[in-house]
A and B are shown apart, each in its own frame.
Chain A
Amino acid sequence: MAAKPKRYSIFSLARNALSYHQGWQRAWRDPDPKSDYEVVIVGGGGHGLATAYYLARECGIRDVAVVEKGWLGGGNTGRNTTIVRSNYLWNESAGLYEHAMKLWEGMSSDLNYNVMFSQRGLLHLAHSVHDMQEIGRRGNAIYLNGIDSEFVTPEQVREMVPFINLDCRYPIHGALLQRRGGTARHDAVAWGYARAADNLGVDIIQNCEVTGFQIEDNTIRGVETTRGRIGAGKVGCVVAGHCSVLAEMAGFRLPVESFPLQALVSEPVKPIIDCVVMSGAIHAYISQSDKGELVIGAGSDAYVSYSQHGGFDTIEHTVGPIVELYPIFSRLKMLRQWGGVVDVTVDRSPLISKTPVNNLFFNCGWGTGGFKATPGSGHVFAHSIKNGNMHPIAEPFSINRFNAGALIDEGAAAAVAH
């Protein structure tokens, strides 16, 4: 095993600055896969790496491999709009996303990695009487679950975002504000979890695609990969858009369809917007990165596709309202636009679940809003894998809810791309 990684600190920064930054260590090793592991995690995005980290850190299972077909965080972890919030309607969701929020609040020091978590406040705009009723219901439900949630007037919205056009085609009647909501640096989340997990002995194996499962007596024995067979006592699949592809390899179907979801960023400008503003009704959200780019998110394209790019009509539906709400942005050039593949369930809530195959677990179906849940998802999934029984917070998110009818309908509740 490599030398014990040194902690990042102001002193290590100063020391490395004096040596022209030639002395930094690798953040994680690049091991070849062993023949067997106690647990194999399929998918090296934020959720998968968080799962491996909490398995090693809290569950005492360090014989863990994370296999990733591309590079770490190269899927939806590196493609989202980095928004973090926990203002969900239903109790089950509140439990899950608030669990994640509490872990976000200590993550940088926990991982010894600056994930640039910034609780800058998140506004959810209401544009009609119906929207006001929706945020009224949801805001009170959130408040009753002990999560911060405030109603603000159009004037207060203008104080936070002085250049917003209150009286436009989408008039602003009010907004729901979660002050603890905000953004985090998405790549840093993947890298921070990877470094911390590696530090605890987890093998992170990139460029290693799972091509099949080895299943005997309806029990998982290992995974077939492009780098050979890897035996496993338990397997957790955390692969977002491609979860149905893996489920098919294991012989079952999921209540999921995969859609393209697009986002775009502008050229960098001086600080202009210091909170996150989202609108469910017009499916457009915006924040500013620390580099100065405006980060703009759209709704998902409305047809099944794994193509990682969507249509310009969806972009147009997003930037039109953005320019209407913020006329000052009309001259900004957009620098980059991209798409990810999101795994959407009918009730817009995730699947954290056992499967028909023993010791094979799936954590997927996060749809358009998985980033915010990264630490909570990994945490409850790790405990579920360790115990063989689902963590109480994860239990309602079983695949079986689609047979039992116990849906957690956040789609109808929030009417917004998460």
Chain B
Amino acid sequence: MFLIKCPWCGYRDQTEFSAQGEAHIVRPEDPYQLDEEQWGDYLFFRKNPKGIHHERWVHSHGCRRWFNVIRDTATDHIHATYRPDEPIPELSSEETSKPA
């Protein structure tokens, strides 16, 4: 259990939020142009990294808005949260190289 900083509401308990998986997966412009492999890849295959993970969360029991989180999945340490319309924050090399 940890605290998450909602970009709109500030720090709240993790239980107010729901994790919604990997962020920045773009829906294909024209799904009909994809073959089975590309479509399956888009729907089901994930990076699932041990380390820095860009992911989507929604403040389900708060403002109910979506946002993105950069979290280390080895330690659950949250490096940054940002709104969907904001660019991906750059992490310092110190943060990204921290041992898992």
Contacts and interface: CB of A to CB of B under 8 A. Distances in A.
Contact of B48 (A257, A346, A402): A257
Contacts of B22: 304
Interface string B40-56: 11011111111001010
Contacts of B47: 244, 248, 253
Interface string A33-76: 00000000000000000000000000000000000000000000
Nearest to A407: B44
The interface centre, meaning the residue of A248, A256, A303, A305 with most chain B CB atoms within 10 A of its CB, is: A303
Contacts of A245: 49-50
A255 interface: yes
Contacts of A402: 40, 43-45
Given A302-B18, A303-B19, A256 B40 contact: no
A257 B45 CA distance: 9
A259 to B, nearest CB: 9
A403 B43 CA distance: 9
Contacts of B50: 242, 244-245, 258, 306
A338 interface: no
Given A245-B50, A311-B15, A257 B40 contact: no
The 7 closest A-B pairs by CB, nearest first: A403-B40, A303-B19, A311-B1, A244-B48, A255-B44, A402-B44, A253-B45
A253 B38 CA distance: 12
A401 to B, nearest CB: 9
Interface of B: 1-2, 14-15, 18-19, 21-22, 36-37, 39-41, 43-50, 53, 55, 73-76, 100
Nearest to A313: B15
A312 B74 contact: no
Contacts of A404: 36, 40
A245 to B, nearest CB: 5
A307 interface: yes
B73 A403 contact: no
A256 B41 CA distance: 11
Interface string A293-320: 0000000001111110001110000000
7 contacts: A245-B49, A254-B48, A303-B19, A306-B50, A312-B1, A402-B40, A402-B43
Interface string A165-186: 0000000000000000000000
B1 to A, nearest CB: 4
B14 A304 contact: no
Interface string A273-310: 00000000000000000000000000000111111000
Nearest to A256: B48
Nearest to A307: B76
A340 to B, nearest CB: 14
Interface in A74-117: none
A254 B45 contact: yes
A75 B6 CA distance: 34
